[in-house]
């Protein structure tokens, strides 16, 4: 048997899960599992886009990560860090 962990949902959602499980004659965990599977399948393109965006941000290094997390242009990060040519302020130009 797979391990189980509680999830936090609103009381209204919990009731819906209870009713659906009873009507479908399955466990509440099965209802949640199916819902997550269906959500992932229905939104696969958006999820893939977000994974690609995360990959690009991570591949962009510290400036790209900071820019993404702070929601500011990378140039602003470079300016504040003391570098306008794209190299990290600690390295300086070669």
What would the pLDDT profile of 24-59 be if each residue is shown by its tens digit?
A: 999 999 999 999 999 999 999 999 999 998 888 888
Domain positions in the chain are: 11-42, 45-81
Q: Are 64 and 74 in contact (CB under 8 A)?
A: yes
pTM for this entry: 0.61
Answer whether residue 63 shows pLDDT above 60.
yes
Q: How high is the pLDDT of residue 85?
A: 55
Task: Please report the DSSP string for 28-55 in residue order.
Answer: HHHHHHHHHHHHHHHTHHHHHHHHHHHH
For the chain, what is the radius of gyration of the CA atoms?
22
For residues 35 and 31, what is the distance between their CA atoms, to the nearest angstrom?
6
Residue that is written with structure tokens 């209204």 in the block: 12
Give me 17's structure tokens: 């899960």
Residue that is written with structure tokens 């819902």 in the block: 35
Average pLDDT, integer, range 1-8: 81
Q: How high is the pLDDT of residue 88?
A: 52
Answer whether residue 91 shows pLDDT above 70.
no
Please report, to the nearest 10 degrees, the dihedral formed by the alpha carbons of residues 72, 77, 80, 82 taken in order. -160
């Amino acid at each position: 048997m797979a391990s189980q962990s509680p999830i936090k949902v609103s009381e209204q959602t919990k009731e819906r899960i209870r009713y659906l499980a009873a009507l479908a004659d399955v466990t509440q965990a099965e209802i949640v599992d199916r819902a997550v599977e269906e959500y992932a399948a229905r939104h696969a393109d958006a999820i893939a886009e977000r994974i690609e965006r995360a990959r690009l941000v991570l591949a962009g290094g510290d400036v790209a990560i900071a820019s993404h997390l702070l929601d500011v242009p990378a140039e602003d990060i470079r300016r504040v860090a003391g570098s306008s040519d794209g190299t990290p302020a600690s390295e300086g130009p070669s």
